[in-house]
């Protein structure tokens, strides 16, 4: 079963076509990669799906299982802060943490939509609010334990090294118990060992929690290693879709990456 | 001992200590009035800090909400003869509703535009205070009674001080509880990263509105308390001068800090009074304005976390220096 369909997606900014009739589908419980040279429009696709942008044309459908029944949503019916409620969570390319909150509190924000309690009951710190805070805190601690960074819980999120900040962001998204997790360059700024650990972690998230992973990544090693299916795009257009092997052998993809002016990817 | 570490318990204890001081050490009437004013401005500064410090939204029209609270309280206890406590609550709630209505429009704007829109609101409301004779009696002003609760009249400055501190402590505890729970996290998250907050399901517009409504409520309560302390008000008090002083209180005292709001109020109210007592300085016209402005500039440049967090800033400076020294060896 597919969890996400993108059909004929197009968006342009001031006459420049950033995405041009792009279609692809992500299968449930798979790890799906979106690759492409710099400026290919990968993050723009993510921003359309997570509703930061509204596409000019095209369809965005999301289907998820809620208590055994399958529900289908048109993502365009949802505002940016509502998509997390139907099971779609994301991380950002340049880590977006809440700098004045601790690591634990950053994760607790991930539970925002499920946290109960009105303004008055919070202001008077009623027993039900205290109970709810305890529940959210414990849940966040569990996720921190899972990510192996529980020792940082009470420290400020911004005082952490970059690799850990990336994990905090991942943890914050995980706390919302998403069905589909969108990761925008999860390995950016990580060294080789950290990237390998991350690969294991991403697989574990899929295997243990059954969360579908959809990622954009520049680190080809990581993409080829963990993705089951890949979509390659260039200048907003789809070049190819297939298994890592198929993508690597695709002449159009090779040209987009190895063609003139893109030496960066030659290695 | 564990209870002593809880902030609400600390607020109550500090409140108790301060409220009995005037009963132990005799303090002149005029000084008591000034101290009462400090407590009242701390209330509005606290609410304004939720908006400016925590939510990162500016307003240059909050004097209007305080003025509204003052006139409402005079009207409700006077013409309608409602009990003081009920009119205190209504004097907070009605400005809050007006704040929500203003926020619904103005909070679609950001930064400078929000500042201009709220400034316009403040100026317009002050003009209404001048013109709406039936409600405000124009420049002649209105009078109000001493506050009374269950038959006890807070006639003396000392007893009023106890009442004012009790209200401030309640407002502090409410703000503290709210800000450390879901709402506080959402408001701070929104200030730190709008896009991440949205991705986590936080409705930005809603939480901006919550912060705006709360600050208007606190302002209204402060206005009502002021009315029953001074027992007279007229329109010139509720202008841009007060709105700007409010901004100075929060910036000098400490943005996003409950203690900072109170420290800021102490500074802004007491500094001009102290200047008056110093021979030579008292003759310089508008020196207190110059002092406020200069302190604000100094605060932004050298202690951006405010007076309330000077100790913390000093400690982190020392530990950083120690670290650097260790590296040099």
pLDDT tens by residue, B172-228 = 999 999 999 999 999 999 999 999 999 999 999 999 999 999 999 999 999 999 999
CA distances from B320 to A84, A103, B309, B329 (A): 40, 22, 17, 15
For residue B192, the chain A residues in CB contact (below 8 A) are 97-101
Question: Are B201 and A85 within 8 A, CB to CB?
Answer: yes
Longest dimension (CA), chain A: 65
**Residue B273 maps to a domain:** no
In this predicted structure, the answer to whether residue A264 has a pLDDT above a threshold of 60 is no
- A116/chain B closest Cα distance in angstroms: 8
CA distances from A233 to A11, A61, A247, B47, B60 (A): 14, 20, 11, 51, 49
Vertex A69: Cα angle to A64 and A75 (nearest 5) = 30
Is B229 within 8 Å of B41 (Cβ atoms)? Answer: no
Is B308 within 8 Å of B257 (Cβ atoms)? Answer: yes
For residue A85, the chain B residues in CB contact (below 8 A) are 201
- A124: closest CA among B84, B4, B183, B93? B183
pLDDT at B131: 94
In this predicted structure, the answer to whether residue B326 has a pLDDT above a threshold of 90 is no
At B85-126, the pLDDT tens digits run 999 999 999 999 999 999 999 988 888 899 999 999 999 999
- Radius of gyration, alpha carbons of chain A: 19
For residue B174, the chain A residues in CB contact (below 8 A) are 123-124
pLDDT at B68: 96
**Residue B186 maps to a domain:** yes
In this predicted structure, the answer to whether residue A262 has a pLDDT above a threshold of 50 is no
Residue B148: band (very low, low, confident or very high) from pLDDT cuts 50, 70, 90: confident
- Is A5 in a helix, a strand, or coil? strand
DSSP string, A204-226: HHHHHH--EEEEE-S-HHHHHHH
**Residue B203 maps to a domain:** yes
pLDDT at B327: 67
pLDDT at B141: 86
Residues in chain B: 329
Average pLDDT over residues B135-146: 88
At B237-291, the pLDDT tens digits run 999 999 999 999 999 999 999 999 999 999 999 988 888 888 887 778 788 888 8
At A79-111, the pLDDT tens digits run 999 999 999 999 998 889 999 999 999 999 999
Question: Are A100 and B191 within 8 A, CB to CB?
Answer: yes
Q: Which residues of B lie closer than 8 Å to A, measured between beta carbons?
A: 8, 174-175, 177-178, 181-183, 185-186, 188-189, 191-193, 195-204, 210, 256
Judge residue B190's burial from the number of C-beta atoms within 10 Å of its C-beta, 0-12 exposed, 13-18 middle, 19 or more buried.
buried
Q: Which of A96, A97, A105 to mutate to test the interface with B (most CBs of B within 10 A)?
A: A96
Domain hosting residue B83, numbered range: 3-246
- Which residue's entry shows tokens 């509105």? B209
- A178/chain B closest Cα distance in angstroms: 11
- B54/chain A closest Cα distance in angstroms: 10
- A188: closest CA among A203, A178, A198, A180? A198
pLDDT at A259: 66
Residue B1: band (very low, low, confident or very high) from pLDDT cuts 50, 70, 90: low
- Please report, in angstroms and rounded to a whole number, the separation of the first and last CA atoms in chain A: 36
**Mean pLDDT of all residues in chain A?**
89
Q: Does an H or E element contain A234, and which?
A: strand A229-234
Give the residue with greater pLDDT, B286 vs A241: A241
Total tally of structural domains belonging to chain B: 1
Question: Are B182 and A50 within 8 A, CB to CB?
Answer: no
Sign of the Cα pseudo-torsion (A234, A238, A241, A247, in order): negative
10 Å Cβ neighbour count for A123?
22
In this predicted structure, the answer to whether residue A217 has a pLDDT above a threshold of 70 is yes
Give the residue with greater pLDDT, A241 vs B323: A241
In this predicted structure, the answer to whether residue A266 has a pLDDT above a threshold of 70 is no
**Residue B265 maps to a domain:** no
Is B168 within 8 Å of B222 (Cβ atoms)? Answer: no
- A119/chain B closest Cα distance in angstroms: 7
* Residue of chain B with shortest Cα separation from A49: B199
**Residue B154 maps to a domain:** yes
At B291-323, the pLDDT tens digits run 899 999 999 999 988 898 888 888 888 888 887
- Which residue's entry shows tokens 């990968």? A42
The CB-side HSE value for A159 (13 A sphere, CA atoms) comes to 9
pLDDT at B229: 93
* Residue of chain B with shortest Cα separation from A169: B196
At A126-177, the pLDDT tens digits run 999 999 999 999 999 999 999 999 999 999 999 998 888 999 999 999 999 9
In this predicted structure, the answer to whether residue A265 has a pLDDT above a threshold of 60 is no
A125 touches chain B (CB under 8 A): yes
- Radius of gyration, alpha carbons of chain B: 20
Question: Are A100 and B186 within 8 A, CB to CB?
Answer: no
Percent of chain B exceeding pLDDT 90 equals 70
A102 touches chain B (CB under 8 A): no
**Residue B281 maps to a domain:** no
For residue B200, the chain A residues in CB contact (below 8 A) are 81, 84, 89, 109-110, 112-113, 172, 176
Contacts of B294 (CB under 8 A, 6+ apart): none
Q: Which of B200, B309, B320 to mutate to test the interface with A (most CBs of A within 10 A)?
A: B200
Question: Are B178 and A122 within 8 A, CB to CB?
Answer: yes
pLDDT at A49: 94
Could you tell me how far CA B96 lies from the centroid of its own chain?
A: 14
Judge residue A129's burial from the number of C-beta atoms within 10 Å of its C-beta, 0-12 exposed, 13-18 middle, 19 or more buried.
buried
pLDDT at B117: 93
Residue B167: band (very low, low, confident or very high) from pLDDT cuts 50, 70, 90: very high
Quote the tokens at residue A189. Answer: 């700024």
Q: Which of B3, B8, B181 to mutate to test the interface with A (most CBs of A within 10 A)?
A: B181
What does the alpha-carbon distance between residue A23 and residue B298 come to, in Å, rounded to a whole number? 57
A113 touches chain B (CB under 8 A): yes
**Residue B63 maps to a domain:** yes
**Residue B309 maps to a domain:** no
A138 touches chain B (CB under 8 A): no
Is A253 within 8 Å of A265 (Cβ atoms)? Answer: no
The CB-side HSE value for B283 (13 A sphere, CA atoms) comes to 2
Contacts of A53 (CB under 8 A, 6+ apart): A11, A44, A47
Is A8 within 8 Å of A23 (Cβ atoms)? Answer: yes
Question: Are B201 and A119 within 8 A, CB to CB?
Answer: no
In this predicted structure, the answer to whether residue B328 has a pLDDT above a threshold of 70 is no
For residue A122, the chain B residues in CB contact (below 8 A) are 177-178, 181-183
Is A139 within 8 Å of A111 (Cβ atoms)? Answer: yes
A109 closest CB neighbour out of B189, B204, B256: B189
Give the residue with greater pLDDT, A15 vs B213: B213
DSSP string, B80-148: S---HHHHHHHHHHHHHHHHHHHHHHHTTS-HHHHHHHHHHHHHHHHHHHHH-HHHH-GGG-EE-PPPE
Question: Are B192 and A105 within 8 A, CB to CB?
Answer: no
Give the residue with greater pLDDT, A188 vs B64: B64
At A195-206, the pLDDT tens digits run 898 999 999 999
A123 touches chain B (CB under 8 A): yes
**According to DSSP H, which parts of B254-282 are helical?**
258-277
pTM, full prediction: 0.91
**Mean pLDDT of all residues in chain B?**
91
pLDDT at A267: 45
């Amino acid at each position: 079963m597919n969890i996400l369909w993108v059909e004929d997606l197009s968006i342009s900014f001031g006459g420049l076509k950033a995405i041009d009739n792009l279609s692809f589908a992500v299968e449930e419980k798979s790890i799906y990669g979106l690759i492409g040279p710099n400026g290919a429009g990968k993050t723009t696709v993510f921003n359309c799906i997570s509703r930061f942008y509204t596409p000019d044309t095209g369809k965005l459908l999301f289907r998820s299982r809620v208590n055994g029944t399958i529900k289908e949503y048109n993502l365009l019916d949802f505002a940016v802060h509502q998509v997390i409620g139907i099971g779609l969570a994301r991380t950002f390319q340049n880590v977006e943490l809440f700098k004045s909150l601790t690591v634990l509190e950053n994760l607790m924000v991930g539970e925002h939509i499920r946290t109960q309690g009105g303004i008055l009951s919070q202001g008077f710190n009623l027993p039900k609010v205290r109970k709810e805070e305890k529940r959210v805190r414990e849940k966040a601690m569990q996720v921190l334990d899972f990510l192996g960074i529980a020792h940082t819980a009470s420290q400020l999120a911004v005082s952490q090294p970059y690799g850990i900040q990336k994990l905090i962001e991942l943890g914050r998204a995980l706390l919302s118990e998403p069905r589909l997790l969108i990761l925008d360059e999860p390995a950016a700024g990580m060294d080789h060992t950290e990237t390998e650990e991350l690969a294991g972690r991403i697989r574990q998230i899929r295997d243990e929690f059954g969360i579908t992973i959809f990622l954009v990544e520049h680190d080809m090693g990581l993409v080829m290693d963990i993705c089951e299916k890949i979509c390659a795009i260039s200048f907003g257009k789809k070049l190819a879709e297939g298994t890592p092997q198929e993508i690597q052998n695709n002449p159009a993809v090779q040209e987009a990456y190895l063609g003139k002016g893109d030496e960066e990817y030659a290695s | 001992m564990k209870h002593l570490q809880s902030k609400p318990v600390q607020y109550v204890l500090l409140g108790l200590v301060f409220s009995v001081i005037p009963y132990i050490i005799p303090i002149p009437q005029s000084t008591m009035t000034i101290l009462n004013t400090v407590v009242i401005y701390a209330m509005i500064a606290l609410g304004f800090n939720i908006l400016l410090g925590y939510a990162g939204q500016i307003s240059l029209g909050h004097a209007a909400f305080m003025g509204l609270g003052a006139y409402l309280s005079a009207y409700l206890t006077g013409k309608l003869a409602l009990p003081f406590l009920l009119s205190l609550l209504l004097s907070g709630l009605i400005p809050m509703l007006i704040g929500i209505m203003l926020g619904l429009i103005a909070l679609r704007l950001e930064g400078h535009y929000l500042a201009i829109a709220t400034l316009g609101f403040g100026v317009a409301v002050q003009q209404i205070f001048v013109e709406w004779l039936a409600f405000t009696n124009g420049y002649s002003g209105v009078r109000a009674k001493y506050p009374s609760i269950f038959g006890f009249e807070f006639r003396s400055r000392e007893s009023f001080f106890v009442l004012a501190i009790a209200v401030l402590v309640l407002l502090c505890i409410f703000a503290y509880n709210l800000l450390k729970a879901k709402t506080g996290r959402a408001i701070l998250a929104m200030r730190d990263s709008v896009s991440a907050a949205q991705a986590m399901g936080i409705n930005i517009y809603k939480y901006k509105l919550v912060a705006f409504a709360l600050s208007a409520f606190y302002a209204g309560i402060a206005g009502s308390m002021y009315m029953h302390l001074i027992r007279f008000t007229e329109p010139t008090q509720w202008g841009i001068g007060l709105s700007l002083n409010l901004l100075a209180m929060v910036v000098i005292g400490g943005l996003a800090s409950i203690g900072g709001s109170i420290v800021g109020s102490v500074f802004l109210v007491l500094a001009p009074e102290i200047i008056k007592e110093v021979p030579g300085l008292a003759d310089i016209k508008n020196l207190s304005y110059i002092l406020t402005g200069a302190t604000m500039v100094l605060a932004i440049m050298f202690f951006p976390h405010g007076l309330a967090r000077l100790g913390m800033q000093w400690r982190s400076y020392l530990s950083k220096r120690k670290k650097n020294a260790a590296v040099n060896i």
